């Protein structure tokens, strides 16, 4: 089996390179010169298609490139793991804060969200209580919260809660007892409750006309407020802490008018410069070491990039020589497969991966220096480049005979598998649409199916 | 492999068409005429079995039919998705209402149903409390519910709760202390509690003899009432809102007499004309656009239907010509496989799919115009037709050489797979019956198995 | 492929039957007689190995046996399903009762069992409260339970609760403050609380010395009582109701002395004759119809049994004729495979299945007539026989050419699959032992693994 | 198929042994002697490569070794199962204790841990209450706990709770209202609350300055205490009970400063000598029987070890004879595969397994005699050796022809499977890194993914 696949591989390659090694006739001077040239080209081609081990055996050429790639795999993976661990802390901090807010501001919050909303209420009394609970918790925040929080300023630079309610306009005509008069236009009423208002004794604000809700035309109530927080964890790793502004919004959603108000809690966390903060003590900056490491990664990738580009340039030159020779000698053009045989897909992969790592590392350094915050782009670049680097390891496995057979077999069977998937995909798509509409949202079974899944 | 399968395909087809291309002898005039006819038929047959690309290359015939099919896939899928999204809103409204009712009328409802019933009670005290809770919540409904609900009229046109209890008749003989006297006939007692009765102070109704339950012979208590609701969501999409009548029934099921009363909550929602409703404001009807889109889908399907029918008619005519020619020249009848080769199963699929889409779209337009409400039939028609249209895509994949091989291979292996499934099915059926009776309901393990699954 | 497997089958069969159809030489009278005999035997053998369809074509013999088997499949499956549905009601009644008892007698029962016990307590206060709660619920039972329950008599014919506590004997020596003196022998103390005792005002029983538990040497407290219940559901199907005696036991298990008392609730339900019960009304017995149906099943199975036995007897006679002929003509013995070819395994399967159905049906009739109660044996017999009957369907599939190939292929590959399973089983067994001891109970990981699974 | 694989096996073996059985020329005396020697060697080799059944048939040599191995499998498995069941009791006791402690010392503990911590709190009030609850429960321990617990001594030999709080140092400079002054150095404050302190009326300790927490700089509060317990379960199996010291630590972790304090409960259980304990009664030591069993296992393993070592020594001697002969006769060296053919891998496996069992059994005896407690090492040794013994069963299966084929096939395909796994592993590793960083911790999706899994 291996033998057969390998011979197949050789046949493909030889066919691609044309039948240039046929018997030679004639022995004039020009032919002799041509023969020398041909022999030289043959040698170069042979050497070009060797793998590093064979090259070392043939010309004692030390495989710098191979060594560099192995070093790169180690460096890039280390960098990625360090970056990921750092991000994990940040994400955990944000998520923990959101969970803590939900416990503080939502009445009877169970600890887990229902579907996509946090909790739901079913009676008018619960609706009033939930709204007043959130507002009074905001007022008492500093006495109850365990986090280092401070009130933040609204968009209009005032400290306080903004409560907005959205409802259908009431008809101007007198509504008779029997008829429901609804204007399909939507009105928005807002009120700003600042801290002094809330502190007033006897809680006069609860009695205001604003908080007399007419549920039959109410669409939603939105309570929004800003809080300032600080992530002190980074002090342990001797870095400066990040300051956050949390834009919290509690939405009581009655759009469906189905007797169930869904409560959504949304918390957006933005990183801001920490102004009012003094960190003293033995805080040494060890950021330098990280920056040096990143710079080293960039250097290695640059070297790899240069070497691979050089390889491709050399390969293209060799191809030109070969094509010219072939045209001259046999007066025929080499077929396309033969032309592409010269440009190694692996080199292209390595070059793309290197470029991504370099850009990603530069972004990472900027983020570290707190001048940039687009973690998203950086993580996509670094992640994808690491994926490519690891996939590239397969190439080095291909240098071993036994693995090469495996890889060629997989390459040959891939299109068939993809084709099968395309066919199955069509049927699956059709079935999905059909199942969704026939079994799905309309029949009551849907709920059952949903739970089963 | 591909080569073999393809040649197989060709062989099948050529065998089916008979061996009409054999050497010809003789050269009289009649034969010449016959030869011209034969050549013509051969050309037509060749063209008939071409795929659109080849037809375009051969006679520069633009593939209208192919284009139409591709357009149809897009249109039908869009229509289905829009229809499905619309239905999803309706279903969600009904389900949310049911959940809200359960929270309002069932005491200590946990938010999730147990098995197929909503909750269960185990003591006499709980039974009384649950019944009285549901009744008093009905009385206070307008003050607690968040939805826009109104009391609906019963079957006998009165507003109020109907409470029915079902129990075995008591024996007329004096029941001694030791014996349990039960008459296996069932009696039903009902009482209608209208709003004024419920509002009476001191809740005299609770003291009535009706509510003195004798659990040993009680089969079930049923509380039923009608509520009117309105789905205002559709106003957003500038459509008229739907009005609903909810026929709610709470059943306290003691049929098993096992010490556990299961409480079922059943809510049937019927769409009704909205009478007492005034919607004003900028409500424009955008229903027209949807209707125009549906009409366009119908047009396309009609066109596709006509073209496919025409193709089949042409094919049948060609077949007749071929059969006559074959009978005349070789004095033999063409075998069945050869006859069926002319009628493409794909055309039949397209025709069925088109007919279903047309009927479904007409139904959909009627539903939109609020004159019909059988969503079920409509969704089955549209869903199935979309399934067929997507499955039909496989046919177009068959035009590519590589895919054709795959499809033929799958066709060939299908009967073997089905046969294996039949055998396995027999053993599975036997095992199921055996497992159900031996491990299943009788032994206590059943509960364990049920939970494991 | 099919051709090959089939020819294989034929070859096996012909080899098994010997090479009796070789060329014949000589033409004396004896030989002629022998030839007639041989021809006759050949015909009989040919007919014997035919399937029903071929037999019908050959001698117009109507396949009674086949028809009977098909009828039997229908009857046996119907009988099984009816029996299963009946059992399901009985099991559901018992389970519902157990759940109801747990809610009545266990304090703070959550509705679902933890692992194998119902709930667990961690403080001394909870222990006392749980015990007293169970006892007082027993006292108030008639006022709280929804089921038709009555107090049952204990083993010593008294009505009441039996509370037993099991503990290590206390050392007779004076226990110093520092030392824990424990005698490894176990003592059991019991007290019987009958209803009058429990009704006493001021609940004097709670103050008794018995209820002063010394947890450091307490092993378990066991509360046991009997209750009488009745399953009225069967009245609907016009049958007599079953009466039950529930032997309930609540065990507070402190054997581990780990600070966690596990509470087990065990309820054994025994069916008893209903004495103190009068059912009147239109209760007709429709048990007869069921008995008639069962008798019919028995008849069919008897017929099938007789026919199959006859077939086997005929086959054995034919074999004897064949063996004699073979020995006489070729002076050789037929090999074992050839001998076994005559006895069809299917017939043996049918006979076993028939015997089981007959015994099972008789048991079922006895149960119906309330003279027997071993449901277990009956369900195992009926279930297994139904499994065999359904597996037997595969034989009829073997009559079709295409299925026959499949079945022969599966028969041929079975031993290899089993052999592979044996090897894998060895490794799996070794791994299981190793994994259990290395990862399993000893390391703390076990708990994690348990949860992951 | 079987034939082919087997012949392959024979070919491999014959190739490995060289082509020593070629035709012999010449017939001098020396050659005759050589031929006798060769014949003798050939016989020995033939016998050496036989399996036990063949050996028995050839020389009537009873397969002692095989019998011993079968006996060993039984003994070793029994020993492992007994050891595992014993350990399971110990682990269950520790786990039950930990669960009981959590219920006693953690306020509002739900019964299941959240992620890796036991519960979490979100308000300052909850924080104070949880801390005070744990402390007062410690004080009341003897009155509430169901287990036989006693207060243990701290590291500094005092009985009591140690409460430590860890926080950032406060800045010495006056903190203005606007700025947060934090010194990144960490301070640890501890207080020891002994029993008398806690018993004081009016709970003065709650008012101490230590318990005025400043959450903005608090890192964690740690409450630690020692408890003494006893596992009385072992008395049932007539063994001496184990005494335990539980080192409990409750950690209120505020390191993240995210508004959520995670409460960790950590309980380390160490086995100690039971000093203050008197067990009387009919406690007989049945430990002897277990020790005798273990000793018997050791004996069997020693015998198996000796026999296998002897086999290997004999094999090496035979190899030497063969190599010498080969070198002498053909003047060639035998290839490596041929050399290794002589040393059976199974013998090596058996020897390793025997050594592990012997060491493991000795450890087990020491543990039983309460002189050692490293259960870990012992279970790893016994578990691994049992795995090897069971895997060794495959060797005996190889003696049957049908199984041998299977095993050889699996051996041949193993390297290909491993190679494929290596390739897939590379891609998987790359994907893991990429997925972790791109989808993983940074995006909010991570939480969703986590729950889906």
pLDDT tens, C290-340? 788 899 999 999 999 998 898 889 888 888 888 888 888 787 777 777 777
CA distance C445 to A327: 70
Of B189 and A273, the structure prediction assigns the larger pLDDT to: B189
Smallest CA-to-CA distance from C437 within D382, D238, D222 is with: D382
CB contact under 8 A, B146 and A259: yes
Model pLDDT for residues A215-254, shown as the tens digit of each residue: 888 999 999 999 988 888 777 766 677 788 999 999 999 9
SS (H, E, C) chain A: CHHHHHHHHHHHHHHHCCCCCCCCCCCCHHHHHHHHHHHHHHHHHHHHCCCHHHHHHHHCCCCHHHHHHHHHHHHHHHHHHHHHHHHHHHHHHHHHHHHHHHHHHCCCCCCCCECCECEEECEHHHHHHHHHHHHHHHHCHHHHECCCCEECECCCCCEEEEEEEEEEEECCCCCCCCCEEEEEEEEEEEEEEEHHHHHCHHHHHHHCHHHCCCCCCEEEEEEEEEEEEEEHHHHCCCCCCEEEEEEEEEEEECCCCCCCEEEEEEEEEEEECCCCEEEECCCCCCHHHHHHHHHHHHHHHHHHHHHHHHHHHHHHHHHHHHHHHHHHHHCCCCCHHHHHCCCCHHHHHHHHHHHHHHHHHHHHHHHHCCCCCCHHHHHHHHHHHHHHHHHHHHHHHCCCHHHHHHHHHHHHHHHHHHHHHHHHHHHHHHHHHHHHHHCCCCCCHHHHHHHHC
pLDDT at B191 > cutoff 70: yes
Three-class secondary structure of residue D59 per DSSP: helix
pLDDT of residue C172: 53
Alpha carbon C242 to chain centroid, angstroms:
22
D111 has a chain A CB within 8 A of its CB: no
Secondary structure of D166-209 as H, E, C letters: EEEEECCCCCCCCCEEEEEEEEEEEEEEEHHHHHCHHHHHHHCH
Q: Looking at beta carbons, which residues of chain C come within 8 Å of B413?
A: none
D125 min Cα distance to partner chain C (Å): 25
All residues of chain B having their beta carbon less than 8 Å from the beta carbon of residue A415 are 402
Interface test with C, best of B172, B259, B420 (most C CBs within 10 A): B259
* Closest CB from A87, A282, A376 relative to D184: A282
Interchain contact, A430 vs B387, CB within 8 Å: yes
Average confidence score pLDDT of chain A: 79
Sign of CA dihedral D221, A228, A99, A104: positive
| CB spacing of C426 vs D394 below 8 angstroms | yes
Rounded Cα distance, A16 and A319, in Å: 12
If one counts every other C-beta atom within 10 angstroms of the C-beta of residue A98, the result is 23
Provide, as residue numbers in chain A, all residues whose Cβ is less than 8 Å from the Cβ of B411: none
- CA distance, residue A273 to nearest chain D CA (Å): 14
Q: Which residues contact A145 (CB under 8 A, 6 or more apart)?
A: A100, A104, D122, D123, D124, D259
A431 in reach of chain B (CB within 8 A): yes
Asked if A379 and D442 count as a contact pair (C-beta separation under 8 A), the reply is: yes
Task: Specify the higher pLDDT residue, A112 or B288.
Answer: A112
> For chains A and B, what is the number of CB pairs under 8 angstroms?
167
Can you give the pLDDT at residue C298?
Answer: 94
Can you list the alpha helix ranges (DSSP code H) found in B259-400?
287-330, 336-340, 345-368, 375-397
**In angstroms, rounded to a whole number, what is the distance separating the alpha carbons of residues B103 and B254?**
22
Size of interface B-C (CB pairs under 8 A): 169
Tokens 């004096």 correspond to: B174
d(CA C163, CA C198) in angstroms, rounded, equals 13
What's the number of CA atoms in the CB half-sphere (13 Å) around residue B153? 4
Task: Give the phi and the psi of residue B275 in degrees, each rounded to 5.
Answer: -90, -60
Residue of D171, D434, D436 to mutate when probing chain A, most A C-beta within 10 A: D434
Task: Check residue C444 and give its pLDDT.
Answer: 45
**Pick from D65, D73, D63, D71: which is nearest to D390 by CA?**
D73
Determine the pLDDT at residue C100: 94
Question: Coil, helix or strand for B134?
Answer: helix
Residue A119 has pLDDT above 60, yes or no: yes
Q: How far apart (Å, rounded) are the C-alpha atoms in residues A394 and D429?
A: 12
For D93, nearest residue in chain C (alpha carbons) = C258
Return d(Cα C237, Cα C88) in angstroms, integer.
Answer: 14
Is C269's Cβ below 8 Å from some Cβ in B? Answer: no
pLDDT 10s digits, A1-54: 344 444 444 444 444 444 444 444 445 677 777 778 888 888 887 877 777 777
Q: Please tell me the distance in Å from A180's CA to the nearest CA on chain B.
A: 5
Cα–Cα distance measured from residue D405 to residue A353, given in angstroms and rounded to the nearest whole number:
48
| Closest Cβ–Cβ partner in A146, A276, A388 for D180 | A276
| Contact list, C90 vs chain B (CB under 8 Å) | 442
Residue D446: predicted pLDDT: 40
Contact B397 A422 (CB under 8 A): yes
User: Mean pLDDT per 10-residue run, chain C (453 residues)?
Assistant: 41 43 54 80 79 74 81 91 83 90 92 86 94 92 89 83 88 56 82 81 79 89 92 72 88 91 91 69 60 91 91 87 82 73 81 93 83 79 89 77 77 84 85 79 44 37
- Other chains touching D, judged by 3 or more CB pairs under 8 Å: A, C
The set of residues, in sequence order, having a beta carbon less than 8 Å from that of C104 and lying 6+ positions away, is B122, B123, B259, C137, C141, C144, C145
Q: Are D111 and D101 in contact (CB under 8 A)?
A: no
**Pick from D258, D419, D434: which is nearest to A386 by CB?**
D434
**Beta-strand (E) ranges in B138-241?**
150-151, 160-170, 180-194, 218-231
What number of C-beta contacts closer than 8 Å exist between A and D? 171
Neighbours of chain B (3+ CB pairs under 8 A): A, C
**How many angstroms separate the CA atoms of C53 and C47, rounded?**
11
d(CA B149, CA C315): 80
pLDDT at D278: 66
Residue D116 reports pLDDT greater than 50? yes
- Measure the CA–CA gap between A298 and A72, rounded to whole angstroms: 10
Pick from A266-280, A438-452, C142-156, C294-308: least confident: A438-452
Other C-beta atoms closer than 10 Å to the C-beta of D143 total 9
Read out DSSP for B209-239? GGG---TTTEEEEEEEEEEEEEEGGGGTTT-
Q: Do A184 and B88 touch (CB under 8 A)?
A: no
Element (H, E) at D379: helix D375-397
Q: Fill in the DSSP letter of residue C172.
A: S
**pLDDT tens-digit profile of A400-421?**
777 777 778 888 888 888 888 8
Contact B349, B380 (CB under 8 A): no
Q: How far apart are the C-alpha atoms of A35 and A43, rounded to whole Å?
A: 12
Task: Mark yes or no for CB contact D280/C427 under 8 Å.
Answer: no
Q: What is the largest CA-CA distance in chain B?
A: 117
Q: Which residues on chain A are in Cβ contact (under 8 Å) with D178?
A: 276
Q: CA A366, A371, A372: angle at the middle one, nearest 5? A: 70
SS3 C185: strand
User: Cβ A437–B280 below 8 Å, yes or no?
Assistant: no
* Residue B243, helix vs strand vs coil: strand
Please indicate if any CB of chain C lies within 8 Å of the CB of D78: no
CA angle (D105 as vertex; D99, D106 as ends), nearest 5:
85
Cα A193 from Cα C13, distance rounded (Å) = 96
* Whether B143 contacts chain A with CB within 8 A: yes
Q: Work out how many CB contacts closer than 8 A connect C with D.
A: 169
Q: Which of C127, C186, C197 is nearest to C162 (CA)?
A: C197
Q: Write out the DSSP string of B391-403.
A: HHHHHHHTTSHHH
| CA A335 to mean position of chain CA atoms | 41
- Minimal Cα–Cα distance from C75 to chain D, Å? 44
Distance from CA of A325 to the nearest CA of D (A): 39
Candidate from A168, A256, A442 with C-beta closest to B96: A256
Sign of CA dihedral C398, C401, C407, C411: positive
Give C260's contacts in chain D (Cβ within 8 Å): 96-97, 99-100, 103, 146-147
Chain C residues in contact with D230 by the CB 8 A cut-off are: 180, 257
A177 has a pLDDT exceeding 60? no
d(CA C237, CA A265): 55
Residues D277-292, mean pLDDT to the nearest whole number: 65
Give chain A's largest Cα–Cα span: 117
Q: Is the pLDDT of residue B143 over 80?
A: yes
Please check whether residue A268 touches D, CB under 8 A: no
With beta carbons less than 8 A apart as the criterion, state whether B248 and B265 touch.
yes
In the three-class reduction of DSSP (H, G, I as helix; E, B as strand; rest coil), residue C247 is classed as strand
- Identify all chain D residues contacting C115, using CB atoms and an 8 Å cutoff: none
Nearest to D387 by CA among D417, D406, D421, D360: D360
Contacts of D386 in chain C (CB under 8 A): 430, 433-434, 437
* 8 Å CB contact of D280 and C184: yes
């Amino acid at each position: 089996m291996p033998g057969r696949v390998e011979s197949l591989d050789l046949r493909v390659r030889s066919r691609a390179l044309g039948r240039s090694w046929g018997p030679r006739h004639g022995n004039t001077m020009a032919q002799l010169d041509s023969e020398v040239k041909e022999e030289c080209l043959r040698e170069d081609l042979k050497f070009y298609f060797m793998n590093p081990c064979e090259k070392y055996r043939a010309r004692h050429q030390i495989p710098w490139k191979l060594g560099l790639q192995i070093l790169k795999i180690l460096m890039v993976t280390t960098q990625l793991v360090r970056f990921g661990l750092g991000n994990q802390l940040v994400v955990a901090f944000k998520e923990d804060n959101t969970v803590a807010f939900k416990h503080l501001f939502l009445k009877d919050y169970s600890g887990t969200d229902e579907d996509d909303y946090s909790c739901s209420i079913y009676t008018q009394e619960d609706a009033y209580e939930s709204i007043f609970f959130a507002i009074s918790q905001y007022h008492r925040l500093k006495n109850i919260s365990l986090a280092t929080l401070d009130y933040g300023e609204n968009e209009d630079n005032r400290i306080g809660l903004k409560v907005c309610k959205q409802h259908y306009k009431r008809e101007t005509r007198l509504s008779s007892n029997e008829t429901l008069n609804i204007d399909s236009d939507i009105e928005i009423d807002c009120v700003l409750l600042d801290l002094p208002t809330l502190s007033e004794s006897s809680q006069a604000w609860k009695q205001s006309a604003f908080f007399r809700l007419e549920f039959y035309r109410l669409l939603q109530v939105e309570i929004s407020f800003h809080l300032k927080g600080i992530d002190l964890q980074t002090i342990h790793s001797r870095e400066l802490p990040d300051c956050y502004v949390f834009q919290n919004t509690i939405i009581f959603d009655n759009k469906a008018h189905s007797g169930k108000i869904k409560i959504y809690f949304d918390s957006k966390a933005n990183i801001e410069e920490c102004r009012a903060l003094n960190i003293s003590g033995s805080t040494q900056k060890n950021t330098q070491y990280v920056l040096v490491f990143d710079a080293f990664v960039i250097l290695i990738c640059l070297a790899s990039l240069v070497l691979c580009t050089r390889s491709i340039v050399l390969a293209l030159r060799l191809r030109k020589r070969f094509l010219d020779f072939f045209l001259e000698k046999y007066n025929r053009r080499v077929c396309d497969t033969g032309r592409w045989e010269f440009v190694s897909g692996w080199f292209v992969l390595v070059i793309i991966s290197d470029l991504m790592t370099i850009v990603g590392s530069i972004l990472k350094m900027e983020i570290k220096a707190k001048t940039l915050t687009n973690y998203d782009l950086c993580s996509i670049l670094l992640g994808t480049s690491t994926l490519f680097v690891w996939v590239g390891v397969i190439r080095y496995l291909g240098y071993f005979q036994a693995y090469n057979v495996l890889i060629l077999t997989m390459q040959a069977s891939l299109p068939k598998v993809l084709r099968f998937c395309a066919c199955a995909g069509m049927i699956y798509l059709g079935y999905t649409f059909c199942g969704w509409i026939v079994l799905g949202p309309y029949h009551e079974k849907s709920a059952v199916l949903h739970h089963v899944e």
